[in-house]
Structure 1
Amino acid sequence: MAGGLVALLDDVAALAKLAAASLDDVAGAAGRAGAKAAGVVIDDTAVTPRYVVGLTPDRELPIIWKITLGSLRNKLLFILPIALLLSAFAPWAVTPLLMVGGSYLCFEAAEKIIEALAGHHAEEELAEVDTPAELEKRQVAGAIRTDFILSAEIMAIALAELPDASLGMRAAALAAVAVAITVGVYGVVALIVKMDDIGLHLSKRPSAVAKRTGAFLVQAMPVLLQALSHIGVAAMVWVGGGILLHGLTAFGLNAVPDFVHHLAEGAAHAVPFAGGFVEWLVGAVGSGIVGLIVGGVIVGVIHLIPRKKH
C-alpha cells in the first residue's frame, strides 16, 4: 500500500515537472516571438491614440477598453486559428495575405497624408458625424480594423519564430504573445490618453515638485497626441512598406528590396560609429517610400472608381 502511494506520488511529481517544463518552453517561445515583433508593437502603440481624438475625456478609457477587447478577439478568435491552419495546410498563402494587409496599411496612411496636404482636417471629418455615439462607433471600428492588420503581422512574425514547435506549443505560444502584447500596448495607450488627468491630479498636490510635474504633463498632452498621430501615420507606411518588401523577396522579386537593403548598408558603412541605427533608419525610410508609393496608387485607383451618391 505504502509502496503504491509512493509510486503514485512519484508519477504526480514527474507529471508536475513535465508540465513546468512545457510552461517554460511556451514562455521561452512566446518571449522570442514577442521580441521579434517589437517593431510592429511600437507601431501599434503609436497608431491607436489618434482614435480617441475628438471624443470626450469620460469616454476615452471605455473606448480603449472596447478596442482592447476587439484586439483580443482579432488575435485569439480569428488570426490565431487562421495562422495555425495556414501554417499546417497552406503555408504559401501567408505571404500574399500579409501583403494584402500591408497594402491596406499603405492605403490608409497615404489617404490621410493626401487629405492633410489637400487641407482636409480631422475636425472637418469629425463634424460629418451626427452624434457622439456614431463618432465613437466609427472610431472604435477604425481602430479595430487597423489593429487587425497589425495583429496579423505580429502573429505572423511570432509564428515564424516557431518553425519546429508542435501544433499545441505554437498555439500556446501565440496565445501568450497575443495576450501579453495586447495588454502591454493598450495599457500604455491608456496611460498616454489619460496623461492630462494624471497631471491635473498631481497639480492639486501640496508638493511643489508634484505641481510642476502635473503642469508639465497637462501642457505636454496636446503636443504628445499630435506627435503620436503623425507617428502613427508614418508607422503604417513604414510597416506596410516593409511587409511588401519582405513579400517581394519571398517571391524572388528582389530588385526593389535589394536596392533598399544596399542603400541602407552603404549608409551604415558611411557612418561607422552609428552604423546599426543608420542602417535601420535608411531601411525604414526606404520601406516608407515604397509604402507611400503603393498607398498613393491605391488611393488614386479608388478615387477614380465612380461612387453612388447618397
Structure 2
Amino acid sequence: MASGFFALLDDIAAIAKVAAGSLDDVALQALKAGKKTAGIVIDDAAVTPRYVVGSAAARELPIIAKIAWGSLKNKTLYLLPGALVLSAFAPWAITPLLMVGGAYLCFEGYEKVHHLLHPAPAPAPGATAKGPVDEGATVASAIRTDFILSAEIMALTLASVTTPSLLNKAVVMGLVGLVVTAAVYGAVALIVKADDAGIHLAAEGESAAVRSLGVGIVRAMPVLLKTLSFVGMLAMLWVGGGILLHGLEEYGLGTIPHAIHEFASHAGAPLGAASGVVTWLIDATAAGVVGLAIGWVVARVAAIAAPGKH
C-alpha cells in the first residue's frame, strides 16, 4: 500500500515536471514570437489613435475598448482556429500567406512614405469642419484594419512556434494575442488621454513645476505621435521586407537574402561588442529597402487594377 502510494507521488511529480517544462517552453516560445511581431505591434499602436480624432473626450476610452475587444475576438475566435487548421492540414500554405501579408505591409509602408513625401493639400480657408464621428462606423473600420494586422501577427507567431503539440501552439498563440492586444490598446489609451492629463496638470497643478510638466506633456504629444507614426512606417517596411526575404529562402531562392546576411555579418564582425547591433541594422535597413521596392510594385499594380482609387 505504502509503496503504491509513493509510486503515485513519483508519477505526480514526474507529470508536474513535464507540465512545468511545457509551461517554460510555452513562455519561451511566446516571447520569441512576440519579438517577431514587434514591428507590426508598433504600427498598430501608431495607427489606432487616429480613430478617436473628432470624438468627444468622454467617448475616447469606450471607443478604444470596443476596438480592443474586436481585436481580441479577431485573434482568438477567427484567426487562431484558422491558423491551427492550416498548421494541421495545410502547413504548406503558411509561408505563401505570410508572404502575401508581408507584401501588404510593404504596400502600406510605401503608401505612408508616399504621403510623407507628397502630403495632401491643406483644407481651403472656410472649408466645412469635419462633423462628429460615427462611432459605430469608426469602430467597424478600425476592427477591419486590425484584422489584417492581427492576421500577420498570428501567422508570424505560428511560424515561430516549434512545438509539435497542437495544444501548446494554441496556448502560445492565445498568449501572444492577449498580451499584444493588451499592450497595444493599453498604450493607445495612455497616448490618447495624455493630452487631457497634461491640460489638467497645466490648469490645476499645485506647483509651478507640476503646471510646467502639464504644459510639457501637451507640447510633447504631437511630436510623440509623429515619431510613433514614423517608426511604425519604418517597422512596416522592415517587417514586410523581412518576411518576403525569408519566404524566398524557404523556396530555395536565397541568393539576395544570403548576400544581405553575408554583407551584414562581414560589416559587423570587426566592431566587437557592437557587431550584433550593426549587423541587425544592416539587415533591417536592407529589408526595409526591399520592402519599399515591393510596396512600390504593389502600388503600381493596384493603380492599374483600380485606377480610380489610386
Q: Partner residue of 1:197? A: 196
1:264 partner letter: A
Tell me the TM-score normalised to structure 1 length.
Answer: 0.82
- Report deviation, 1:208: 4.0
- Give a deviation string over 1:137-178, Cα, whole Å, max 9, x none: 665455434433433333334334543342222222321221
Larger displacement relative to structure 2 (58-67 or 252-261): 58-67
Mapped to 2, the partners of 1:263 and 1:139 lie a distance apart of 46
- Report deviation, 1:287: 0.8
Indicate if the aligned counterparts of 2:197 and 2:214 stay in contact, CA closer than 8 A. Answer: yes
Mapped to 1, the partners of 2:140 and 2:84 lie a distance apart of 26
Q: Partner residue of 1:243? A: 243
Mapped to 2, the partners of 1:11 and 1:277 lie a distance apart of 51
Aligned with 2:54: secondary structure? coil
Q: Partner residue of 2:42? A: 45
1:144 partner letter: I
Q: Partner residue of 1:147? A: 146
Aligned with 1:119: secondary structure? coil
Mapped to 2, the partners of 1:226 and 1:174 lie a distance apart of 31
Indicate if the aligned counterparts of 2:37 and 2:156 stay in contact, CA closer than 8 A. Answer: no
Q: Partner residue of 1:232? A: 232
Indicate if the aligned counterparts of 1:33 and 1:159 stay in contact, CA closer than 8 A. Answer: no
The two structures, once aligned, show a CA RMSD in angstroms of 3.4
Number of residues of Structure 1 aligned to a counterpart in Structure 2: 300
- Give a deviation string over 1:35-78, Cα, whole Å, max 9, x none: 33225235423443334334334443233223212221221112
Indicate if the aligned counterparts of 2:241 and 2:289 stay in contact, CA closer than 8 A. Answer: yes
- Give a deviation string over 1:96-141, Cα, whole Å, max 9, x none: 00110111111122122223323326979xx99975435x566545
* C-alpha distance 192-240 of structure 1, shift in aligned 2 (>3 A): same
Q: Partner residue of 1:184? A: 183
Mapped to 2, the partners of 1:154 and 1:140 lie a distance apart of 20
Mapped to 2, the partners of 1:184 and 1:191 lie a distance apart of 11
Indicate if the aligned counterparts of 1:30 and 1:158 stay in contact, CA closer than 8 A. Answer: no
- Report deviation, 1:214: 2.2
- Give a deviation string over 1:79-109, Cα, whole Å, max 9, x none: 1111111111111100000110111111122
* C-alpha distance 140-181 of structure 1, shift in aligned 2 (>3 A): same
- Report deviation, 1:200: 2.5
Question: Is 1:36–2:33 an aligned residue pair?
Answer: yes
- Give a deviation string over 1:233-263, Cα, whole Å, max 9, x none: 2211111111111111111111221122122
Indicate if the aligned counterparts of 2:45 and 2:187 stay in contact, CA closer than 8 A. Answer: no
Mapped to 2, the partners of 1:236 and 1:132 lie a distance apart of 30
Mapped to 2, the partners of 1:172 and 1:65 lie a distance apart of 24
Tell me the TM-score normalised to structure 2 length.
Answer: 0.82
Question: Is 1:87–2:87 an aligned residue pair?
Answer: yes
- Report deviation, 1:300: 1.1
1:56-135 map, 5 Å: 56=55, 57-120=57-120, 131-134=131-134
- Report deviation, 1:270: 4.4
- Give a deviation string over 1:177-230, Cα, whole Å, max 9, x none: 211221122112211222222223333231444333222211110100111111
Indicate if the aligned counterparts of 2:234 and 2:288 stay in contact, CA closer than 8 A. Answer: yes
2:151 partner letter: A
1:103 partner letter: A
- Report deviation, 1:289: 0.6
Aligned with 2:252: secondary structure? coil
1:32 partner letter: Q
User: Which of 17, 22, 25 is residue 22 of structure 2 equivalent to?
Assistant: 25
2:184 partner letter: V
